[in-house]
Amino acid sequence: MIRTTLAVDEKIAKEFSKVVKEKSKVIFSVTNTAIQLTTEFLKDGVDPEEVYTYWQIFKLMGLIDIIPIPGTLNETLLNKLYSYEKEKLYDFFLETGKEVANKFKVYMSDLVQILNVVKNLVKFFPLRKIEFTKTTDKLGDRYKLVLIGAGLSLVTSKCLHSFIKGFFEVYNATIISEEVSVGFISIDFKV
């Protein structure tokens, strides 16, 4: 064991000490775990400051009762539902997007912040690539969201597109242009 001194902001040190005592933990043990976790984040290319935002999203996922299912099952179910309900299916996803956004908005009021985090979470979604970019010109700031691998059929791609439109609506985003094809969604918007 190496003894060393760490420089820590006084406010953080006091809060850390208080919470560790409240949880009946040992400062030495919790500090070692925190440093080890941060080391692993850095080795994996994860910015430790973003971890808090990831944790917020993880907690929000619990609020919206996410149940992971295999992608092939999702494809089959949505395509079968579409054969019976057609446009109602897309309306359902639009409304669900609004519901989820209202829950997110309680904790994260900035859509751009959410999308910046989401683009770094591609490994947690059944997508091959998420691109989120900002363009500034004489008309102001515009954003582009591109999802690649967004479904194996046009039905599932359109369901996800409808969900995103509902989500954006709650955040008062104005969609400028959009394109949807099998496994591909591109949305240009303003906030």
Q: Percent of the chain at pLDDT above 90?
A: 40
Question: 168-190 pLDDT, tens per residue?
Answer: 999 999 999 999 999 999 999 99
Q: Please say if the pLDDT value at position 74 is more than 60.
A: yes
Mean residue pLDDT across the chain: 86
Residue pair 182/153 in contact (Cβ under 8 Å)? The answer is yes
pTM over 0.75: no
Between 129 and 60, whose confidence is greater?
Answer: 129
For residue 106, give the amino acid letter. V
Is the Cα torsion angle 22, 27, 30, 35 positive or negative in sign?
A: positive
Q: What is the pLDDT of residues 15-29, one digit of tens each?
A: 988 999 998 998 888
Handedness of CA 153, 154, 155, 156 (dihedral sign): positive
| 73/51: higher pLDDT | 73
Question: What's residue 126's pLDDT?
Answer: 67
**Section 60-64 average pLDDT:** 74
- At 86-110, the pLDDT tens digits run 879 999 999 999 998 998 888 888 8
Q: Give the rounded percent of residues in the chain with a pLDDT score beyond 70.
A: 96
**Structural tokens at position 9:** 């902001």
Which residues share a beta bridge with 177?
A: 188
The closest alpha carbon to 162, from 110, 101, 103, 73, belongs to 101
